[in-house]
Amino acid sequence: MNRRSFVDICKGSFGRKVAYTGASVITHENVLKVVGKAVGVLNYNRPFIRYLHDYYMGDQPILYREKTVRPEINNKTVENHALEIVRFKAGQTYGEPIQYVSRKKDDAINKAVDALNDYMRDAHKQARDIELGTWQSSVGTAYKASLKAEKNSLIPFRIHVPTPLNTIIVYSLEDGRDMLSIQQLKDENEEQYYLCFSDDKYFIIKNGQITKAGINGFGGIPITEYPNNPDRLSDIEIVITALDQINKIQSDRMNGIEQFVQAFMLFKNCEINKDEFIEMSQLGAIQVKDSTQTNKSDVKLMTAELNQEQTQVSKDDVYRQVLVVEGMPDRQQNSGGDTGQAVYLRNGWDFAEQRAKLDEPFIIEAEKKHCQIVLNIIKQTTNDVPLTVRDFDVKITRNSTDNMLVKAQSLDYLLKNKVNPLIALATCGLFGDPEKVWIMSKPYMDTIFKTQDQLDVETEKLRAYELLKNQPNNSVKTGEA
């Protein structure tokens, strides 16, 4: 339970710690030492990972707040903006399926890339990516495992997203490459063991001993880390104190309303017993009598109403700062008279796009590692995707229909100014796979725009015609083509 604030838990240590090793090769002799140090890092990160994921799920400190003054009025309201942040970030990157696009104008490679995309769809990769993106945004890092499928499966591999609570990758201190993946698991007898993969070997470690080892049949480490950023900072933890403040403000507002409704009643120079008070409350009226001329009787409610308007201003300010830090758009109302592009810029959508582009290279790097293992598995089984990771690029597609008119106008402008159609298709941002769109559209493009090959053929024909026309005794008449 997240009773304490995250700052009290992490004590200023933000971001997830990374496991490193100085070993250049993982062997039987050094694997126990490497695993021992890495498990220490995993155990260090685990409380923070669990706290942040539970916080995203709604388990936030405000739910455990205690109130000493009038403890019966203690509203505990969670405005789960952590879920809003994580869903937005995951949707921004993984809301559309990640596509692989060919780098080369080669029909065989294009068909192989299409086959790889089909395999990924059949493996429900997008669902696994959304699961991965949720972990990645909420706790700062995530992992994806590429595994061999069962013999009767329609596709040769399957994708699994192991929890960061029991998974870690060990990197080289020398050059930063992946050295070892470690998963903390339990067998059917609930006994704990570690499943480890290096580039060429696998190890099963139980009770501090290697119980099984062998050749790694994946052709590489099958688990890939997807860091949220170089520091493994969670999108929640960078604004978690502000999110706690929003919960407090909203809860205190509810307390203020309830305390106003349930205000104490003050009897001045009056003696009222319990039964009389209950009877008066039921009747809705109170009658008092001055005891003397100097001691005048009075009955009134003791109230001090919270200024709701000023409280809302404070809450809105904190929320806006959360959006600024996160690079998220502000959903403020359009005042009218603005173009779509002006609203896009003013409300912060362009800033959100630029922030997302900063994270793309890390996702693309991880995707290439994941694809390498998938291609190795396919090669060992069906061998019907003759590709290497150098044959294609990873395309992260966001909302291609956003500002669609401007993008279409840009495409039209580029084409009319004789820019290569493939470059125009890639530049305008309308299509997730411009290479495939170009190939499918080429027959139609050729009817409108002459390709360089067509221009070369026409030039050659014209040159041959001029040579033939200038020869003596030629039969070519002027004006004939």
Q: What is the pLDDT of residues 44-81, one digit of tens each?
A: 999 999 999 999 999 999 999 988 877 878 889 999 99
Summarize the confidence of residues 442-448 as an average pLDDT.
71
Name the amino acid, one letter, at 334. Answer: N
Identify whether residues 365 and 467 lie together within a single domain: no
Out of 263-277, 329-343, 361-375, 427-441, least confident range: 329-343
Among 399, 431, 463, the domain-final residue is: 399
Contact predicate 157/147, CB 8 Å: yes
Q: Cα(291)–Cα(68) distance, rounded to whole angstroms?
A: 37
**How many structural domains are present in the chain?**
2
Specify which residues 143 forms β-bridges with: 225
Q: Cα(423)–Cα(427) distance, rounded to whole angstroms?
A: 6
Summarize the confidence of residues 179-185 as an average pLDDT.
96
Contact predicate 303/263, CB 8 Å: yes
Please indicate, yes or no, if residue 45 is contained in any of the structural domains.
Answer: yes
Identify whether residues 123 and 65 lie together within a single domain: yes
pLDDT of residue 160: 96
Contact predicate 168/38, CB 8 Å: yes
Specify which residues 196 forms β-bridges with: 182, 203
**Residue 43 DSSP one-character state:** H
Identify whether residues 9 and 97 lie together within a single domain: yes
pLDDT in tens, 391-407: 999 988 876 555 677 77
Q: Cα(455)–Cα(442) distance, rounded to whole angstroms?
A: 15
Identify whether residues 433 and 376 lie together within a single domain: no
Ramachandran angles phi, psi of 425, nearest 5°: -65, -40
pLDDT in tens, 188-231: 989 999 999 999 999 999 999 999 999 999 999 999 999 999 99
Q: Cα(18)–Cα(172) distance, rounded to whole angstroms?
A: 11
Identify whether residues 90 and 130 lie together within a single domain: yes
Q: Cα(340)–Cα(41) distance, rounded to whole angstroms?
A: 48
Ramachandran angles phi, psi of 413, nearest 5°: -65, -45
Ramachandran angles phi, psi of 51, nearest 5°: -60, -50
Please indicate, yes or no, if residue 199 is contained in any of the structural domains.
Answer: no
Please indicate, yes or no, if residue 251 is contained in any of the structural domains.
Answer: yes
Give the N- to C-terminal CA distance of the chain in Å, as an integer.
87
Half-sphere exposure of 157 (CA within 13 A, CB side): 29
Region label for 381, one of left (φ > 0), alpha (ψ between -120 and 50) or beta (otherwise): alpha
Range of the domain at 460: 404-472
C-alpha gyration radius of the chain: 34
Contact predicate 79/246, CB 8 Å: yes
Tell how many helices (H) and how many strands (E) occur in the chain: 14, 13
**452 by DSSP, 3-state: which?**
helix
- Which structure tokens are listed for 279? 């009877």
Cα 46–chain centre separation: 20
Identify whether residues 412 and 393 lie together within a single domain: no
pLDDT of residue 481: 44
Among 348, 382, 399, the domain-final residue is: 399
- Dihedral sign computed on CA atoms, order 320, 323, 327, 332: negative
Please indicate, yes or no, if residue 227 is contained in any of the structural domains.
Answer: yes
Residue-wise burial string across 419-454, b where 16 or more C-beta atoms lie within 10 A, e elsewhere:
eebbebbbebbbbbbbbbbbeeeeeebeeeeeeeee
Identify whether residues 414 and 390 lie together within a single domain: no
Identify whether residues 381 and 444 lie together within a single domain: no
Please indicate, yes or no, if residue 6 is contained in any of the structural domains.
Answer: yes
- Dihedral sign computed on CA atoms, order 314, 317, 318, 319: positive
Please indicate, yes or no, if residue 310 is contained in any of the structural domains.
Answer: no
Taking 60 as the threshold, does the pLDDT of residue 301 lie above it?
no
Identify whether residues 374 and 453 lie together within a single domain: no
Taking 70 as the threshold, does the pLDDT of residue 276 lie above it?
no
Identify whether residues 9 and 111 lie together within a single domain: yes
pTM over 0.85: no
pLDDT band at 42 (very low <50, low <70, confident <90, very high): very high
Taking 80 as the threshold, does the pLDDT of residue 308 lie above it?
no
pLDDT in tens, 78-132: 999 999 999 999 999 998 899 898 887 788 898 999 999 999 999 999 999 999 9
Residue with tokens 């100097």: 294
**CA–CA distance from 64 to each of 78, 265, 480 (Å)?**
11, 30, 94
Higher per-residue pLDDT: 408 or 181: 181
Identify whether residues 13 and 90 lie together within a single domain: yes
Out of 134-143, 319-328, 415-424, least confident range: 415-424
Please indicate, yes or no, if residue 428 is contained in any of the structural domains.
Answer: yes
Among 399, 421, 452, the domain-final residue is: 399
Please indicate, yes or no, if residue 319 is contained in any of the structural domains.
Answer: no
**Residue 237 DSSP one-character state:** G
- Which structure tokens are listed for 153? 């499966």
Residues with Cβ within 8 Å of 201's Cβ and at least 6 positions away in sequence, in order, are 26, 213, 214, 215, 216
Identify whether residues 372 and 433 lie together within a single domain: no
